[in-house]
Structures are given as C-alpha cells and as structure tokens.
C-alpha cells in the first residue's frame, strides 16, 4: 500500500463508509450558493445570515418546534456508517428471480444509511408503521448508536436477539425520546424518495400531533397531503369514548411537482369489476343483442344483496356497443357556462339550456360529442340532453364539469373501469387481517395486530398508479404485510412492484400466546416471522394455495464491516495527521492477513459491501471480463450504472490492465474502476487518478 497522504485526506477517506451526509449537504449548498463561502472554501456564517435575514431583523421569539435531543438526532441522521449488509442465501427464496425484492434483518437507521448511496431518489413509496409510543412497546434500544459492541453481541451471539425497551409516560422525556427516534429515520428516508415520491406513516392519537410537527420539519408543511382515518370498529368495553381508529399521515416529497405533473390518484370503484364480468358473460350468451343484455343486466342488479359492492353502481344498467353506461349531467360546474343553441334531432327546436350552461365550451365540441354518440337527447326539446358515462370509459369521455355533490366517475384512461378518488375516512375491521395471517401460518396466530395487506395493496396501487414498477420500502417490517401486499398486487394485476422490507431481529414475546406459538414453530424473532410469511405467500398458502410464479426475494443481514480497519479507534489526544498515519499502519497490519484468508463466501460479502458503498444496488449482475488477462476484473451492472471491479489482493494491477483501461477511456467509454489500494503502486495509483478522475476509487 502506498504511504502517500494528500493534504485533504481525512480518517473517513480511509474507511469504507456510506456517504457523509453533513459533507454532502455542505457541498450542495456550495454548489448552489458559492458566494456564501470564503476563498478558502469555508462557509461564511455572516453571508448565510444575510441570506436568511436580509433586513437584519432580529426576533427573540418565533414559532419553533423543539424537544430534548433534536440537534443530536439530526447529527446522527447524517453521520455515515461503516456497517454492511451480508447476504443470507439459506433464508432467501428464488434469489435469481428476486429482481430487487429484499428482506433486511437489522436495525433500521443504520440499514437506511447503507441503502442511501445506491437507492437515493429511487423509492416511489415508503410505508411505515412505527411503534406508537404507548409506553409498552416503544422503541428499539439504540445499542448500535450508543454502543455498537452491544448491538453486534445481541444480534450475532445471543439467542433472543434485540428486545424492546418500554417508555413509561412517567419519563420526563416520554415524547422527546420518541421524537428523536422518528426524526432521524425520517431525515434519511426522505432522501430515498423520488421527487414525486410519497411517504405514508401509520400512527394513533398518542403521537399524531408530534408526528405532524416533526414531519412538517422534515418534508415541509406545504408537502402534507392528508391524514387518512382508518376506523377499525367500536370497543364496547370503553369507559368513556371508544377509540377504534388509527391514522395514516401522507406527505409528498414535492407536492408542487405532483401538481406540475397533473398527478391524479384514483382507484376502481368497488363493485365495478363484477359488473363488467357479468356484462361479458351476458354478451357471450346473447351475442350482440343489446336489448337482451340490458334486460338481463337489470335483473342481475335486482337480485344482488343490499351489501354487494355492485349494488351502489346499479345506475350502470343500460348497455350499448361499448358496454354498461349511466346518465351524467351536461351542465357547466358552478354556473356561468356557455348558452348556445343545441338542436333536438326530432323536433328541430333548440333544447332547453341547463341553468348552469352547457359543459362544453363551444358548439363545435358539443357536436363532436353528439356525433360519437356520447350525448343522449330526451323525447323532445323541453329538457336538456345528458351525457353517457360508461363503466369502462372511452378516451373521448371527459369528467369536466362534474359537480362535487355528485359522486361521479373521475378522470380515467381509456379501457379502465369506473374510478373514484378516495376520501380521508375508510372503515375496515382488524379481524380479516388477523384471519389472513393465521391462514398463512396454517391456522396459528404468531403475531399480534398485523397490518391489513389488502388495504395496503389498495394504497400502493392508489398512490403509484402512474408507475407499476415502483420500488416500495417498509423499514418497520413487522409481520411483512407490505411485502405480502406487493406480491399479491403483482400476481393479480400483472404489475411489477418491488419491495424492500427492514425488520430488526427483535425476540418474540415468550410471555404472550403469539410468542409461544411462534417459538413452537421455530420462529424466535419477528424478522424470522417476516421472512417465513413472505416465503409462504410466494409458495402458496391456505386450503387453496396459489403459488406466485417467477418471483422471489433475497435476505440480507446488518453486520460489521468486512474490513478490519473499521475497528480502528482514533486517539483523541493525537492530531488528524497522526491518526491517519496510525490507521494506515493498522490497515497494513490487519488487512494483509484478512485478504489472505478470504474464502468464496467472504469474497461475496466483500463485493457486496464495496459495491453498496459505491452506490450499486444489491441486485447487480457480475460478469468476468476476458479482456483483462492478467488481473481478475469483473463487470458489475445494476439498473442504473456499471463499473469494472478488481479485488485482487495478491498481485499488483498489471500494466496490461492499465493499458486496457486507457483504451476504453480513449474510445469514449471511460469506465468506473474500483480496486484495492494495496494492489496499486504509487505510480499506478497516480496514473489511474489522472486517467479516470472521479471514475476511480481505491480503498
């Protein structure tokens, strides 16, 4: 290894860490506002203050949300980690068909940091169901942050894994502890979202107000979309008022972009698929005899039970060559619409004009709608005509002018069934999700209060309808409800969503009935329940198992870095230069032996760590390059980027390899090249830096 040390080198430069969030933010600020920095490159606080307070107005009091530990939690969120993720092949399922689906077993803050470099702005939807701070099941002991040795001991050595601490409401920091916990995780999570991404957070009354305040700070109050109210049923044993609801708080990363993109969130009206299915059945029976189909469809509606979802849509009882339809208002919304003449085809007289005016702005557009058969006239001209609204709307059909008091169809693409916008309130009891999870585990109840995968599937489809290949993340994985929802959605709709689920290896509660059942099934931790559930969903479960083909997932575990240098502890009494020199000697001493003892599985773990920390997603492809005969060079590709990687420790990077890299660069390809620093001479390292610039990384 070379002993050259550049003047700007720091300890972090020599460690395989995730990006330093503090330095990234400072660099972005400098890029946007270079005038805020001195000639030496340091931030000038006076210039920044002038930007924030141009009139130099000093306020001693202002609205601000503060709590104990807020500053520390923000620092922690942007502090890099040296940890890594290790592939667990034994617990993975169909890994060659995983296509990015992952279950990660580990503390979620460190895991999010590890994902950040490779998955920054790649996640369309984040859903989390964090602990609700009820005083009984608050948060994970942050052993990783406070004492990493304890974390590794508990996750890697003890049988029971990580336990939860209680957070009694008698604690003076009852709310502060929870806020620190959620604040730092949201700060990292926001960076994972695409610009048009959305986060959904389940919460109850205990911390709703505080969650809104901290989320306003992280995402911006202007990006709050709504609070959904999920009513789960009345509790008759309540002393005063039954509180049977929870909330789902929704924030966009950039709500203004959603408006700019004219984003519409819609879902199929309940009961619409059943109507279309019946129409298709009747069409096969009666061929194209529309009157017979219409009569039979009317009889079908009459026979439906009052609670059948299609009953509310029985206005779609009429039928034409485009399927079931109903009438729709033809007047301008809010009034003051145009008032031109529309001639009745039989009486040849102008039809009565709606009180609010016509919905179409000109006679030309009105005539176009008449010509394509979407305007229906009454018996005579004394009443205005009406519009057709098909169950499966045509491209020409428009929802413009729909009044708010009418629960009508909203904008939809040609070929999609009647759709609606969701309200902020919905009702779904908790029992179905409990029964579903029991059916997954052969009738056994292994987990209390699982989230409803059917409702989560609705939400996933609702907020990501414009991208059915989205990446969805849940970093409080629990029993795996979100992964279940994604898999079922893909299976039933042909979508290609991908999921990443993170769950800490928290021990099941052996004092509870569910915990005893889990232990008897050989599942000692919540994360093992998560993995087993997703496995059974793919393989098929219940009395009528339906395996999901062509899919799988990989399991990774949060672990110590593979590089011994990460165990180095700087001496606080020595200068930065002295500690760098000591670290270099430490690396020479420890890592020579480390690389000599690498076996095949160890090589895989090192590859994963190196690539993850260089921004590669973990479903990369690895191919040996034959055009580098003297060194073992692999081409690594993921959905976003590629690189050439050489982790040869026993021999130097050959001159032939350097020449081949030069050939590729001169041909315009300029590959990203990653290698071990110990395999480079000082000259070779200088040549590579000169040749590849920021497309080169040695460690």
- Residue 8 banded pLDDT, cuts 50, 70, 90: low
Q: What's the CA angle centered on 504, arms 501 and 507, to 5 degrees?
A: 130
Of the listed ranges 612-626, 657-671, 675-689, the one predicted with least confidence: 675-689
Give rounded-to-5 percent helix, strand, coil for the chain: 40, 15, 45
* Count of CB atoms situated within 10 Å of the CB of 187: 21
HEC letters along 519-551: HHCCCCEHHHHHHHHHHHHHHCCCCCCCCCCCC
Quick: pLDDT tens for 515-571. 999 999 999 999 999 999 999 999 999 888 999 999 999 999 999 888 877 777 777
Q: Would you state the pLDDT for residue 405? A: 36
Quick: pLDDT tens for 446-473. 999 899 999 999 999 999 988 999 999 9
**Mean pLDDT calculated for residue range 160-189:** 71
Of the listed ranges 80-84, 131-135, 142-146, 271-275, the one predicted with least confidence: 142-146
Q: Which two tokens stand for residue 556?
A: 């990774």
Helix (H) or strand (E) holding 372: none
Q: Would you state the pLDDT for residue 3? A: 43
pLDDT higher at 551 or 40: 551
Task: Give the side-chain half-sphere CA count within 13 A for 281.
Answer: 9
For the domain made up of 84-265+425-559, the CATH class stated in words is alpha beta
Residue ranges covered by each domain of the chain = 84-265+425-559, 267-420, 598-698
Backbone angles phi, psi at 432, to 5 degrees: -60, -40
Quick: pLDDT tens for 135-157. 555 444 444 454 555 555 554 43
Q: What is the crossing angle of helices 655-666 and 682-692, to 10°?
A: 10
Q: Would you state the pLDDT for residue 465? A: 85
Q: Give the residue among 231, 203, 264 at the shortest CA–CA distance from 462.
A: 264
Whether 411 has a pLDDT exceeding 90, the answer reads no
Q: Give the residue among 140, 149, 180 at the shortest CA–CA distance from 83.
A: 149
Q: Would you state the pLDDT for residue 583? A: 76
**Residues linked to residue 697 through DSSP beta bridges, in sequence order:** 674
**Mean pLDDT calculated for residue range 119-126:** 96
Do residues 338 and 332 touch, judged by C-beta distance below 8 A? yes
Whether 160 has a pLDDT exceeding 90, the answer reads no
Average pLDDT, the chain: 84
**Mean pLDDT calculated for residue range 347-357:** 95
**Mean pLDDT calculated for residue range 291-302:** 94
pLDDT higher at 301 or 51: 301
pLDDT higher at 395 or 288: 288
pTM for the model: 0.82
- Residue 417 banded pLDDT, cuts 50, 70, 90: confident
Whether 597 has a pLDDT exceeding 70, the answer reads no
């Amino acid at each position: 290894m070379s002993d050259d040390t550049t003047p700007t080198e720091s300890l972090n430069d020599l460690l395989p860490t995730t990006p330093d969030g503090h330095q990234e933010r400072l660099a972005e600020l400098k890029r946007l506002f270079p005038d805020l920095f001195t000639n030496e490159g340091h931030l000038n606080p006076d210039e920044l203050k002038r930007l924030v307070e141009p009139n130099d107005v000093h306020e001693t009091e202002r609205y601000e949300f503060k709590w104990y530990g807020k500053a520390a939690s923000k620092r922690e969120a942007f502090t890099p980690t040296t940890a890594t993720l290790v592939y667990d092949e034994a617990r993975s399922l169909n890994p060659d068909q995983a296509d990015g689906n992952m279950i990660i077993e580990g503390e979620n803050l460190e895991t999010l940091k590890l994902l950040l470099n490779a998955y920054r702005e790649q996640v369309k939807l984040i859903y989390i169901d964090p602990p609700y701070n009820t005083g009984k099941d608050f948060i994970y002991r942050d052993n990783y942050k406070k004492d990493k040795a304890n974390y590794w001991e508990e996750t890697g050595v003890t049988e029971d894994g990580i336990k939860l601490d209680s957070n009694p409401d008698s604690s003076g920091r009852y709310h502060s502890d929870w806020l620190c916990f959620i604040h730092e995780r949201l700060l990292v999570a926001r960076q994972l979202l695409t610009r048009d991404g959305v986060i959904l957070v389940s919460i109850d009354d205990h911390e709703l107000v505080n969650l809104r305040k901290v989320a306003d700070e992280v995402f911006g109050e202007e990006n709050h979309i709504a609070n959904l109210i999920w009513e789960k049923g009345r509790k008759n044993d309540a002393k005063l008022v039954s509180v049977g609801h929870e909330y789902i708080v929704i924030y966009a990363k950039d709500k203004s972009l959603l408006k700019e993109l004219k984003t519409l969130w819609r879902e199929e009206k309940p009961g619409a698929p059943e109507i279309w299915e019946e129409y298709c059945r009747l069409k096969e029976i009666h061929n194209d005899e529309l009157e017979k189909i219409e009569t039979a469809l009317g009889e079908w509606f009459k026979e439906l039970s009052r609670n059948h979802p299609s009953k509310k849509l029985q206005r779609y009882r009429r039928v034409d060559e485009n399927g079931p339809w109903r009438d729709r208002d033809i007047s301008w919304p809010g009034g003051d619409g145009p008032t031109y003449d529309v001639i009745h085809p039989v009486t040849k007289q102008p039809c009565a004009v709606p009180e609010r005016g016509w919905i179409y702005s000109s006679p030309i557009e009105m005539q176009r709608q008449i010509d394509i058969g979407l305007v229906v006239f009454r018996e005579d001209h004394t009443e205005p005509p009406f519009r057709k609204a098909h169950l499966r709307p045509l491209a020409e059909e428009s929802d413009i002018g729909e009044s708010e008091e009418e629960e009508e169809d909203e904008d939809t693409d040609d070929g999609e069934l009647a759709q609606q916008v969701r309200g902020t309130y919905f009702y779904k009891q908790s029992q179905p999700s409990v029964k579903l999870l029991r059916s997954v585990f052969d009738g056994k109840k292994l987990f209390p209060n699982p989230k409803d995968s059917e409702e989560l599937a609705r939400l996933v489809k609702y907020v990501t309808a414009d991208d059915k290949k989205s990446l969805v993340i849940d970093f409080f994985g629990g029993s795996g409800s979100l992964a279940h929802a994604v898999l079922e959605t893909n299976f039933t709709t042909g979508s290609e969503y991908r999921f990443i689920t993170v769950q800490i290896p928290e021990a099941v509660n052996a004092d509870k009935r569910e915990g005893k059942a889990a232990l008897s099934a050989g599942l000692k931790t919540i994360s093992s329940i998560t993995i087993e559930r997703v496995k059974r969903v793919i393989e098929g479960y219940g009395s009528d198992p339906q395996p999901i083909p062509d899919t799988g997932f990989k399991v990774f575990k949060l672990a110590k870095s593979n590089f011994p240098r990460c165990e180095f502890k700087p001496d606080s009494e020595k200068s930065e230069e002295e500690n760098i020199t000591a670290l270099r000697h430490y690396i020479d001493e420890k890592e020579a032996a480390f690389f000599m003892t690498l076996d095949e599985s160890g090589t895989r773990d090192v590859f994963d760590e190196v690539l993850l920390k260089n921004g590669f997603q973990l479903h990369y492809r690895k191919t040996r390059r034959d055009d580098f005969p003297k060194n073992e060079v692999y081409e690594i590709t993921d959905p976003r980027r590629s690189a050439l990687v050489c982790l040869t420790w026993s021999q130097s990077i050959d001159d032939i390899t350097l020449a081949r890299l030069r050939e590729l660069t001169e041909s315009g390809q300029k590959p990203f090249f990653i290698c071990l620093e110990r395999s480079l001479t000082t000259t070779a390292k200088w040549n590579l830096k000169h040749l590849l610039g920021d497309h080169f990384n040695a460690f």
